[in-house]
Amino acid sequence: MQQTEETLQTVLQDTFALYTQVLDQHEAKLRSQEIGIVQSIGQGIAKIAGLPNVQSEEIVCFTGGSLGLVFNLDPEEVGVVLLDSSEQLQSGTQVRRTGKVLDVPVGDTLLGRVIDPLGRPLDGKGVVRTSQRRPAERNAPSIMDRAPAVNVPLQTGIKAIDALIPIGRGQRELILGDRQTGKSGLALDTIINQKGKNILCIYCAIGQRSAAVAKVIADLNEHQAFAYTTVVMAAAEKPPGLQYIAPYAATAMAEYFTDQGRDVLIVYDDLTNHARTYREISLLMRRPPGREAYPGDIFYIHSRLLERSTHLNAKRGGGSLTALPIVETEAQNIAAYIPTNLISITDGQIYLSPVLFQKGVLPAIDIGKSVSRVGGKTQLPAYRTVSGDLRLSYSQFEELEAFSRFGTRLEESTRLTLERGRRVREILKQKQYAPMPAAVQIAVMLSVTAALLDSVPITEIAIAELAIAQAISTELADLCLQIESGAVLKDADRDALLKVATTAIATVVKDTTDPKDAKDTTDPKDAKDTTDPKNAKNTTDPKNAKDTTDPKDAKDTTDPKDTKE
């Protein structure tokens, strides 16, 4: 027992001696830390004094944990954009530097999650755990890092786009139109069509209502598209600073996958709200306003964002980032400030017309005002056999339709062009959340350009299209795989498609003009009734004639009492 106590005493003495030695050798080093004081609080902004060495776009932390982004660097004070609620902040609150620029978490764990631009979860599924972070602001890839051409298609599943306004991987295609014309629905259809194509998607909601974003998430879940999608959400009720950084944060998350050689699709919904938010922040910071009160660098904030979308070359992994920015127009004015800025930045635009929307032509894509500057290089080779004729015939139809409304007597060729055009318009209609495979699209459009649908009534075009789709998918499954893999459509393949389509259309036409129905319409019994002598006798019955000229009735109409009155 005594030996144990001696051993314990020895251990304690050695330990305390070591502590004393360490303390004697330790020299306290002073570390400077800048702490500022809040001078004033505005709507989403704060003015701070006492941070002389703070840098632009640095993150600062307020007492209580709220974050802010350095926006203005003035001689006497610093303008900070708040990234959290300002309810607990007041004049005199302390602020300290973090020494870090704005960065966001990146990684595969973000897929299937709903997060805010700072990476904080909004879906109630717990903390997002990632091993890497990336700065939200980053230089766009250099010219030498980009692929020489954009030539790999990104299928949207929408006939009007894939055939007439093709989009390639690495392209920036603007979607614009008035309110409630289906802009977000078009982007959502594109995301849903990427199922099974090894393309990851990021949906960035900027200034949208929470209920609208919740519906988008529900639709993605319903169509099994949420597993490969990340939703970055900065709702309308959030601070303006959070809405401002949302697209940059979403792009940084997408670039992580692109640098790994993967293909990514990102949707910005929408950049009109982003521009308005930036204008609001700039005016509150007393930056000089320009056209429509927007600051002078409004073009630059969008160009540096969209320039990050590209197709990398093989040395950089060959990944691609395709951008679909959405912009809202007012009263169909595509020449407004923000729309024209983005039209000049992007590689084409898809314009949705409210006039077509009201007529029930959905999706309401105005083919004449929509363009893809990359062109047919991004299309599957099989599309080229039908897209040229289709666009030409549809353009002729739109011109002739305007003149035909005057009631002019039309030639037979003109009448046939109008009938063909009406069928093309019916073919281009498509329900939402119903993407169509490329091979079926080509078969349907080949049918209309080859005049196979001229005998089908307009009201039965949708039925004929469904019949063609089912027949092609079942009878020519191998050819469908060849078309979607990029094979050229040979004459024999074209004939096979037309043969199957003709058979499918014949069943529809047979159903609409069934001999039994035709027999019923000309039933001898019905014809006999219409010329029945009894009926004829009744129509010229003297009794009936007598009733129509009844003296009593005549007497009533010229009643002396009425005349006297």
List, by residue number, the catalytic residues.
373
Q: Which amino acid is at 123?
A: D
CA angle 101, 105, 107 (to 5 degrees): 145
In the chain, % helix, strand, coil (3-state, to 5) comes to 45, 15, 35
What are residue 513's phi and psi, to 5 degrees? -120, 50
DSSP per-residue letters across 385-404: HHHHHHHHHHHHHHHHHHHH
Buried b (16+ CB within 10 A) or exposed e, 255-289: bbbbbeebbbbbbbbbbbbbbbbbbbbbebbebee
Question: What gap in Å lies between CA 464 and CA 417, rounded to an integer?
Answer: 20
Distance CA(421)–CA(419), nearest Å, equals 5
Nearest to 158 by CA among 30, 286, 350: 350
Task: Please report where in the chains the tokens 């940084």 appear, as a residue.
Answer: 252
- Between CA 17 and CA 6 the distance in angstroms is 16
DSSP string, 361-384: -SS-B-TTT-EETTGGGGS-GGGH
Q: What letter would DSSP give residue 84?
A: S
**483 contacts 439 by C-beta, under 8 angstroms:** yes
Tell me how far apart the alpha carbons of residues 511 and 505 are, in angstroms, rounded to a whole number: 10
User: What sign has the CA pseudo-torsion 406, 412, 413, 418?
Assistant: positive
Contact indicator for 417, 404 with CB cutoff of 8 Å: no
Q: How far is CA 123 from the centre of its chain?
A: 21
Q: 231 vs 114, 122, 182, 254, 307, CA distance in Å? A: 5, 10, 19, 11, 21
For 346, the 3-state DSSP assignment is coil
d(C-alpha 389, C-alpha 374), whole Å: 19
Beta bridge partners of 49: 37
Run of H or E including 106:
strand 103-106
Cα(453)–Cα(444) distance, integer angstroms: 9
